[in-house]
Amino acid sequence: MVAHTEPLGASMNAKILGSGPTTVVLAHGFGGDQSVWDKIVPSLVQSNCQVLVFDWAFSGATEAVPSPYDPARHASYDGFASDLVSLLEEMMVKSVVFVGHSMSGMIGCLASIKRPQLFQRLVLLCASPRYVNTDDFQGGFEDSDVEKLISSMESDYAAWATGFSGLVVDPNHPASADKFCKCLLLMRPEVAIPLAKTVFYSDHRDILGDVTVPCQIVHATNDIVVPNSVALYMQTHIGAGKSTLEMMEIDGHFPQMTAPGQLIAVLRSLLPGASGGLAVGHIGAGARCAVEL
């Protein structure tokens, strides 16, 4: 493999938008790229904070040659966590509010354990430490479910991407499902398939107790990927960091695409330096439920 020498920020398409005393880092999940935050970024930029967006090494949006994706290094979340720490240092940001969607939630937890001083708060958006059920943990998937998912990817990746995007994105938002599908299709199958195995067979329950950075767990009440019980589990097992659970009464795994107003309202409550321009919608009674430990 050719050594990757390009600055990490350039190879990961990293850019900082806006300005202000608080830096918000938006990290997409499996199959996505930074475009999944398009409905969130403008309101954040209009507020009194700066926003860092980037594409993970596996994303089809990264065009660096050679690719920053290393099959060995990125066979575990630890490689991504090291990338995140290096990126934050290279971009010279610290004490950030890190918003990690899906797999990026656990990546953020690992990075915060490595370098807690880089993080002011973690926002774990539809995140999970484990996806496969055990006798004492309901992750949402049986082993056979994951085996079928991987088999479908291997047999016809394009058809799988179309079907999967329609399942995980709120069906009332077909444009968002189509956008996520296009992101999936930009990924090379030889990257997407082993990464899917890494994600769906991961188990990071044992590191939750080592997290000391305050955490906001933000969960969609009807998420086909991550059941509500997982959010409750994380809240009770995260370590010394104060954890709060925010349940948003929405469908699907992508609140940033299908319910941006609700998510922005949650983020606004976490950003002490945010201006009123961040609020784009009112969350009515019963739309969210906050539980604090």
Catalytic site residue from 74, 204, 219, 253: 253
- State the Cα–Cα distance between residues 99 and 119, nearest whole angstrom: 11
- Dihedral pair phi/psi, residue 65, rounded to 5°: -125, 120
The verdict on whether 28 is a catalytic residue reads no
Alpha helices in 36-76 (DSSP H): 41-46
Q: Spot the catalytic one: 11, 102, 104, 202.
A: 102
CB-CB contact of 77 with 100 (8 Å): no
Decide if 155 is catalytic: no
Task: Catalytic residue, from 28, 223, 243, 251: name it.
Answer: 223
192 contact partners, CB below 8 Å, separation of at least 6: 31, 58, 153, 157, 184
Q: Is 253 a catalytic residue?
A: yes
Please list, in sequence order, all residues whose beta carbon lies within 8 angstroms of the beta carbon of residue 283, skipping any fewer than 6 positions away.
261, 262, 265
Which of 100, 140, 142 shows the shortest CA–CA distance to 225? 140
Q: What are phi and psi of 26, to 5 degrees?
A: -110, 115
Task: Give the catalytic positions in this structure.
Answer: 102, 223, 253
